[in-house]
Structure 1
Amino acid sequence: MAYDGSERGGPELIGGRYRLGERLGQGGMGVVRRATDELLGRQVAVKTLALDSGADPADALREARVVAQVRHPHVIVVHDVVEHEGRPALVMELVDGGSLADRLAAGEVFSPRETARLGLGLLDALTAAHARDVLHRDVKPANVLLEKDSGRAVLTDFGIASLPGATTLSRTGVFIGTPEYTAPERMQGGDAGPASDLWSLGAVLCAAATGTSPFRRDSIGAVLHAIVYEEVRPSAAMGPLVPVVRGLLERDPELRLGAAEARRMLAACAAGEEPAAVALGPTLREDAPAAAPTPAALDRAGQDTAAGGPGSGRRGPRALPFVAAAAAVCAAAATVAVLLALQDEPPKGAAAGPHGTIGAGSTATSAPASTPASGTGRFPSRQVTDEDGFTLLVPSGATRSTDGARIIYTSPDGAVRVGVRIRPVPPGGAIGVMRASAEDGPTSNPGYRDATVEETTHRGLPAARWEFTWDGFTRAEGSRHTFDLAWEDDETLYDVWVSAPLGRLEEARSRFGATVDSFRVTGG
């Protein structure tokens, strides 16, 4: 384990040879101390079970057996198991350096190339574990040690890993794992395989490159909402890592990026190259007719393009049906009690971090007031009065979410999105914003094509209109089309857009006209 120079312990000798020293850290089940192996004259780390943790002594032996199955340069080495206060203690290699969590807490952020090199080491460690049918199940920054001199990444703490033929660690009433880095299928209590560890790796890469967990929120309920429902939009700061992160954070484990392809892409990033993205699933025919919502259609979630922001409109991974996910989580009553709150809440859209990034948390907003449907003919709509000081038409039953800069209303089937952004008029005005967004289109919107930008007026005010097609949020959903209008009113820029699958182009066009016409400012 890592030595961080923390408080002094007593000179107790255990196992007849290990002299305990400074405490290095403490987790839910054990305390880790620096120690001296007096027989071999080397520094080691000793993990002892905390007396008040309620941990079963068999858990320590189980962890030692798990690690013994996986011998790899990027996996912690267990040297010995001895008795301490009537319980087994693990004697491990001492990695001289802090954890990734320590580095991030100190404000350090890794470059894309550094993050890719870190990811390669962790991926190789996981690949070695998976080859032995061992699942780590708790890949997170605190369990990644970084050797000071070599920069070697070491995966540690296999305390909740699963091992073939061994009893799986579980505790009634307790969630096993770290929610911010746990794959959605595990959150639902479903079967978890190697793909679940790869999801966690994707989240760790985001944390290393941006400084924070991609699903950091203010409460456990908001964390779970983000994992199973919200769009994941990688930060532009991640540069060439964006495709691999998108692939690893694909919510459907069957479509998630595999280890071999992830390694190829990370190796390209580490070499300073731009990795080619990989198709994650079958593409539907773009001319397929629109159909009634199906269970698969309910898998869609995420937000759409707002003109002018870095990372706007990036393709997010397919979201699991939130109501179904909440029900599944609640059915598995062995998880933390706070999960139960999710089954009583509609999706309310906890904030997804600063515009164009994943990470920073915020509280969810309450549903806005609404009036009965009107305004878009055969496409059911309702008029909402938003808490941010405007009113407009949105799809009936739409749910509201926000990332702090943009407000998104998403239809019940996840297919149609109405967005609003209000801000001071930037240099260049509405047309400058639209032209800059269009120029960034190929980067922010995969498959960007058929784009037009034109200067116009709206209610006699300077305005600009942007329209384009792109590949959409998921391969299963297929291509999408976006209509976007921005206009200047005094010193304020209003930006309203509508996006829908290409097969529902008529609906998107109809809703866009009605939404723009219905928009009114209600607050100061």
Structure 2
Amino acid sequence: MGLTGSRGSSVPQDEPRNEVVIAGRYRLGKRLGRGGMGTVWQASDELLGRSVAVKELHVGEGKRAAGALREARTVAQIKHPHVVVVHDVVEDDGRPYIVMELVEGGSLADRLTADGPLDAGETARVGLALLGALGAAHERGVLHRDVKPANVLMEAGTGRVVLTDFGIARLAGSTTISDTGAFVGSPEYTSPERMQGADAGPASDLWSLGALLCAALTGESPFHRDSLGGVLHAVVHDEIRPPAQAGPLTPLVRGLLERDPGRRLGVAEARRMLSAYVTTGSLPLLGDAPGPHRPAAPAPVAPAPAGYTPTERATAHTGPAPKPRAGLRVGLVAALVLAAVIGSVAVTSFLSDRTDADAEGRPAAQGERTAPSPGAAATGPQSPVVSAPGAAATATATATVTAPAPPPQPGRAAPAGYRTVADPDGFALAVPLGFQRTTDDQRVFYVSADGAFRIGIKVRPASPGGPIAAMRRSDADGPSTNPGYRDHSVVPTTHDGLPAALWEFTWNGFTAAEGARHTYDLCWDENGRMYDVWVSAPVGRLAQARAHFDTALDSFVPGA
């Protein structure tokens, strides 16, 4: 329930308590709502002759009450048009109360229940307002910790969006579990790191905002499940798929729902994106400039040398200089009350560049591939290929073969900025405009013009143990095949309802100038085949990489 409640909402209304006067001036009226942290009353300020809302905090007495008052006074210092105005913080008969403006209008939750989901434009307007409110709170070191539709008020007549119920707010550094062992916040809107009981930071509120935007677009949190255990599992390691209703806001939602708080979009960058959308109707591309929770981008990457094939392998070869392989970073945190740590999973991927023998646990074949092997299918312009940096460049020969079967037809149009490709190897997916196709003897790649972004696809027969076993085998070989292999994780998940495994890791990258790279890799079994789709990019451009990854998975249509 929001701090200020709402007149005319569906919250049960109690009889007025006109006989109760708080601090000698606030006469309580009807009850507007009750939550775990307090009870909200409509009241009259008899000194100034105005209507207010009074929240009676349920924190007991003594030190806890004194601490609540100190925190409430800190919240009262937040001045922003989209933060509920706190008029007074008082103590009466040993119990703390917060006195604030009475906002006439229902909550966002009320509106979603009564009128259904918002469109992208209205959702963007709400999101922009909340970003301003959260930014003002974070500047004072205050975390909200319960950003959800019920705590967002929509003022009648003006449309003003107001973030309320800072009643469980804490200064940065607090955790999800209270002194009494109770869960603080709403699980469906709580970040993975807080589910672990880790220290909360501003990024945790940004995750909650991402979940709230999804709820505004669809009517419910993307992590809604029938049980608390199901919610925790969904938050911590289910595959995150932004709703189709997000449309042009999808990159923003993905950035906010990044499980690694260090990679999550910060207030400044999210605000820049939403401001542009509200003004122009389109979302700008994510830039390389870091937000508060994203690392700085590495030095600019020089264009790939002519003839270079970005297969991201680090195997020995006959050329003068070895080329490192790509890798993935850890992306999902282990759950608080769910399964113990989920082991590393290895998917056969372009990053591991593993042969079928390798997938069964035998060493990968050595030797750098310098051109598509004879018979490799090619469509559209071929990317030039050469051996590792320092090796002599060789021209790329374009080989033409007949596809084994007509490629499947994609199920829906590609989103803006992408095109749908029907690959000769018997699958279809959406890739960014300008990406070119290249292959080796096992995999297909779609690569950006500068070589920074690489989408890989590998299809092979299903292997023993399924996706999770395959990924764990690849993960186990990571240190030997990817220089600087680190921040790696493998977790079970699902893809279109099928068992799948997600592998992430970071490695040192191809060159010192480019810097470290990170990979997202998902594999799953379908119709007797194992499909492996991955995306890698420099660590400073992960928001775009994740957008490409999610789009590839959302649009992927396997062969018959």
Match of 1:104 among 94, 107, 112: 112
Q: Name the residue aligned to 2:30.
A: 22
In 2: Cα distance, 1:168 partner to 1:66 partner:
20
TM-score by length of 2: 0.58
For the 8 Å contact 1:244–1:277, the answer to whether it is kept is: no
Q: Name the residue aligned to 2:457.
A: 481
For the 8 Å contact 1:134–1:163, the answer to whether it is kept is: yes
Check if 1:198 corresponds to 2:206: yes
Q: Name the residue aligned to 1:466.
A: 427
Check if 1:135 corresponds to 2:143: yes
For the 8 Å contact 1:469–1:480, the answer to whether it is kept is: no
Q: Which amino acid aligns with 1:452?
A: A
CA displacement at 1:245 relative to structure 2 = 0.7
Q: Name the residue aligned to 1:379.
A: 359
Q: Which amino acid aligns with 1:480?
A: G
CA displacement at 1:207 relative to structure 2 = 0.9
Match of 1:163 among 158, 171, 184: 171
Q: Name the residue aligned to 1:506.
A: none
In 1: Cα distance, 2:452 partner to 2:239 partner:
15
Structure 2 CA distance for partners of 1:495 and 1:166, relative to 1, 3 Å: closer
Structure with larger Rg:
2
Match of 1:320 among 332, 355, 362: 332
Secondary structure of the residue aligned to 1:231 is coil
Structure 2 CA distance for partners of 1:53 and 1:177, relative to 1, 3 Å: farther
Q: Which amino acid aligns with 2:360?
A: P
In 2: Cα distance, 1:126 partner to 1:90 partner:
20
Structure 2 CA distance for partners of 1:231 and 1:74, relative to 1, 3 Å: same
Q: How does 1:197-236 map to 2 (within 5 A)?
A: 197-236=205-244
Structure 2 CA distance for partners of 1:476 and 1:154, relative to 1, 3 Å: farther
In 2: Cα distance, 1:265 partner to 1:29 partner:
34
In 2: Cα distance, 1:188 partner to 1:243 partner:
26
Q: Name the residue aligned to 1:440.
A: 413
In 1: Cα distance, 2:274 partner to 2:157 partner:
22
Check if 1:4 corresponds to 2:7: yes
Match of 2:532 among 490, 499, 520: 499
In 1: Cα distance, 2:14 partner to 2:31 partner:
6
Structure 2 CA distance for partners of 1:379 and 1:54, relative to 1, 3 Å: farther
Q: Which amino acid aligns with 1:94?
A: L
Q: Name the residue aligned to 2:542.
A: none
Structure 2 CA distance for partners of 1:55 and 1:273, relative to 1, 3 Å: farther
User: How many residues were matched structurally?
Assistant: 373
After superposition, the C-alpha distances for 1:195-242 in whole angstroms (9 at most, x for unaligned) are 221111111111111110111112222212211212211122122211
For the 8 Å contact 1:83–1:89, the answer to whether it is kept is: yes
Q: Which amino acid aligns with 2:332?
A: L
Structure 2 CA distance for partners of 1:479 and 1:165, relative to 1, 3 Å: closer
CA displacement at 1:108 relative to structure 2 = 2.3
CA displacement at 1:442 relative to structure 2 = 4.6
In 1: Cα distance, 2:173 partner to 2:343 partner:
41
For the 8 Å contact 1:195–1:256, the answer to whether it is kept is: yes
Structure 2 CA distance for partners of 1:133 and 1:168, relative to 1, 3 Å: farther
CA displacement at 1:39 relative to structure 2 = 2.3
Match of 1:273 among 281, 299, 314: 281
For the 8 Å contact 2:5–2:40, the answer to whether it is kept is: no
TM-score by length of 1: 0.61
CA displacement at 1:273 relative to structure 2 = 1.6
For the 8 Å contact 2:60–2:95, the answer to whether it is kept is: no
Which blocks of at least 5 consecutive residues in structure 1 are unaligned? Answer: 300-318, 330-338, 348-374, 382-429, 455-463, 486-492, 504-515, 520-524
Check if 1:288 corresponds to 2:321: no
Sequence identity (%) = 51
Structure 2 CA distance for partners of 1:86 and 1:134, relative to 1, 3 Å: closer
In 2: Cα distance, 1:270 partner to 1:165 partner:
33
Q: Name the residue aligned to 1:415.
A: none
Q: How does 1:239-388 map to 2 (within 5 A)?
A: 239-278=247-286, 286-289=310-313, 297=328, 299=330, 319-321=331-333, 325-326=334-335, 329=336, 339=337, 341-343=338-340, 377-380=357-360
CA displacement at 1:172 relative to structure 2 = 4.0
After superposition, the C-alpha distances for 1:116-139 in whole angstroms (9 at most, x for unaligned) are 111111100111111112222221
Q: Name the residue aligned to 2:492.
A: none
In 1: Cα distance, 2:112 partner to 2:457 partner:
39
Check if 1:86 corresponds to 2:86: no
Match of 2:152 among 118, 121, 144: 144
For the 8 Å contact 2:175–2:200, the answer to whether it is kept is: no
For the 8 Å contact 1:107–1:211, the answer to whether it is kept is: no
Q: Name the residue aligned to 2:497.
A: none
Structure 2 CA distance for partners of 1:13 and 1:114, relative to 1, 3 Å: same
Structure 2 CA distance for partners of 1:479 and 1:45, relative to 1, 3 Å: same
Structure 2 CA distance for partners of 1:152 and 1:297, relative to 1, 3 Å: same
